[in-house]
Structures are given as structure tokens and as C-alpha cells.
Amino acid sequence: MQKIILVTGANGQLGSEIKEMSKNYSEFNFIFSDFDTLDITDEKAVVDFFTNTKPNYVINCAAYTAVDKAESDIDKAIFINDTGLFNLNHASVINNAKLINVSTDYVFDGTANKPYTEDHPTNPVTIYGKTKLMGENHLIGNNNALTIRTSWLYSSFGNNFVKTILRLAHTNPELNVVNDQQGTPCYARDLADAIMHIIDNCEKEITKFTPGIYHYSNLGVCTWFDFAKEILRLKNIDTPIKPCSSDFFKQAAKRPTYSVLDKSKIISTYKLEIPNWEDSLSKCLTLLN
């Protein structure tokens, strides 16, 4: 019988990439939902949805992701990122579904100077980071659940840094981009690919579904300035670009100075090959003007 994969928040960046990728996985039956069809904050709706559709796997792409807005929209951020995860975890346990949740580098305070491993102490300094950690915590003890933390997510779908830089490069005489925050971009298509690889390999019994927390982004390290410079270079755009410090932009939420994630655990557990950030950026840019 075909295994059922429920994707929540399916109209976002990551959800849209999984939707694209689902065309390569005809052996699975995908159910794509978003706020209009399954509001993850509605406990009864979630339990009923699971009872009716009986998913074997749940990939949670639903989240409150507006990092600055969250600082003043605390209740809503808690409701989606915390209560939503409680509901998904609860319904997954009742229905014996495997739950794959996606979280963020913002669970750390960004003061490290070497890549964050999964067991590094968390210390979120933003509402977004705090609510995402609250969500992660609901999965502790669920032996059928994984949390994958990622960073600097972008895609040809949705709004993100790559699209912002392309837009600004066409409308502004010059760009100022932050050069004192280090991290690694993650092409949402690669993350979608990794998640499907994990599910597919578990179904084929190549690897075992191993619960816990994992880190995933592309490989390499850069600053936002390096990232923007590479976007312009790959697109042959000659708008001048200048490095600046974080103080240059007033933002409601503090950004981590360092948010590189150590990916060795997910690579070794799930036999993944992770592309370098420049290669993936180049692929994504072929889809963007």
C-alpha cells in the first residue's frame, strides 16, 4: 500500500519545493495542506485531519517566520510555533505517524566561533527563536520524530534574501550589505531533497529512522555580504555593493553574529551528500530573473 506523506505549510518556500519534488516520488501519496486547509493551531482540526487521512509521515513546513514582526506579535508566534507543534506531535503520536519538523539556527545565541553541533546549549535571544525552541521541545521523547534545524533558507518560491538582493540591485544605485554576520545559506530545494531522501531510504531500509535533532544547510561559510556579492556575480549585475556592519540597519530582532551549523550528524546518520552553497545558489538563480 502507498505510504501517505502529509506536508503542512505547503505553500511556503520549503513546502513548495517538496511539492515540486513530489513529482519524482510517485510511490508516495502526498497530501499538501496550508493554513486554509489545515490550521496547525487548531487542535481538533489537526486530530480530525490525521484521523481522516492517516499519514505515515508528516513534514511540518508550517511556521511563523517573520523574525522582526514576532518581537511585537508574540502571541501569534507562540500559537503557531509552539501550540502548532504540540498539536502536530500529539496527533502524530496517536496515529503512529513519523513527524519531521523544521527548526532554526535562531535557537542559538550566535556567540559561538565554531560550527554549532546539535548538543550545543540553546539560548535563543529573539521571540522567533524562543517560540521555535518551544516547538522543538514538544518532540522530545517522541521516538518517531525528527527536528531538522536549518539557516538562511531561500528558494525560487516565496520571499527571501536572494530575491530581495535581485530586486534592490535593479532599483538602487548601490547596495549596502551586512558583513559581520557569518552563516551558511540553505537552498530549500536541497533541504526538501534531504527530507525526501531520509523518508525514501527509511522505507527502503537503507537507513533507519533515527529520532532526534539534526542540522542541515548547504556546506561552506559566508557573510550576507559574500552571499549578496555572489548573487550579483552569478547574475552579471554590476550594481556597486558595499560591506557594512549590523548597526547600519535598524531591525527589531537581534541577528546572530555566527550561525554556522555542523552537519556531520545528518550526513553520517542518513548518508547524505550536501552541496556547497555557491553551487546551489547558482542552480536556484537559473530559475530567477
How wide is the angle at C-alpha 82 spanned by C-alphas 84 and 4, nearest 5°? Answer: 35
Residue span 140-159 as binding mask against ligand NAP, x where in contact by CB under 6 A, dash where not: ----------xxxx----x-
- 34 touching ligand NAP, by CB under 6 A: yes
- Whose CA is closest to 62, among 14, 98, 124, 22? 14
Q: Which C-beta is closer to ligand NAP: that of 203 or that of 224?
A: 224
Binder among 5, 6, 7, 13 for ligand NAP (CB under 6 A): 13
Place of cell 493554513: 35
- 89 touching ligand NAP, by CB under 6 A: no
Q: Is 216 a catalytic residue?
A: no
Q: In this structure, are strands 182-183 and 222-223 parallel, antiparallel, or unpaired?
A: antiparallel
Binder among 104, 156, 218, 280 for ligand NAP (CB under 6 A): 104
- 11 touching ligand NAP, by CB under 6 A: yes
Q: Are 198 and 100 in contact (CB under 8 A)?
A: yes
Q: How far is CA 81 from CA 147, 170, 184, 228, 283, in A?
A: 13, 35, 23, 29, 30
Query: In a 3-state reduction of DSSP, which class is residue 150?
Result: strand
- 131 touching ligand NAP, by CB under 6 A: no
**Catalytic: which of 64, 128, 214, 270?**
128
Q: Which three cell numbers stand for residue 241?
A: 555593493
Candidate ranges 39-47, 167-175, 234-242, 257-265; the one touching ligand NAP (CB under 6 A): 39-47
Q: Which C-beta is closer to ligand NAP: that of 102 or that of 231?
A: 102
Binder among 31, 59, 80, 222 for ligand NAP (CB under 6 A): 80
Candidate ranges 38-46, 218-226, 234-242, 273-281; the one touching ligand NAP (CB under 6 A): 38-46
- Whose CA is closest to 130, among 111, 107, 104? 107
Q: How many residues does the chain have?
A: 289
Binder among 39, 82, 109, 193 for ligand NAP (CB under 6 A): 39
Q: Cβ atoms within 10 A of the Cβ of 96, count? A: 10
Residues that bind ligand NAP (CB under 6 A): 8-9, 11-14, 34-35, 39-41, 61-63, 65, 80, 84, 102, 104, 132, 150-153, 158
